[in-house]
Structure 1
Amino acid sequence: MIKPSHKRAVLEFLREEDGPTAVEYAVMLALILAVCISSVTFLAAKTQESFVTSGNAIDGAFGS
């Protein structure tokens, strides 16, 4: 059987807004991390492509 103090504690926990706020922050953080990771991945690919293009241009200029 559930003690009245436990029942009251559960009801108070359900009334508090700290739980949903924490979940909202976690979702927001996950979205920010996803955007950051995808941006870094995209920029890394573009940077590598730029260096390869520059290297090929330098090789072509010196006739190698």
Structure 2
Amino acid sequence: MNYQIGDVVQMKKPHPCGTNAWEVLRVGADFKLRCQQCQHIIMLPREKFEKSVKKLIKSADIQA
């Protein structure tokens, strides 16, 4: 699956704040993600990110 900046993904495990929705801020060898509830930013290696993603909630492609 190809992910783009601006995509919102659902992770398998929730963040301690209670949500599991994350916005993709950077793609490459590492992914930079921002929690949609508390705005906490994390970086994950691509391999760990791809294993942790459950589904794509909102694609950045869909624009008016």
The answer to whether the superposition gives a TM-score over 0.5 is no
Larger Rg: 1
TM-score interval (norm. to shorter): under 0.3
Structure 1 length normalisation: TM-score? 0.15
Structure 2 length normalisation: TM-score? 0.15
Higher RCO (C-alpha 8 Å, min separation 6): 2
* Higher fraction of helix: 1
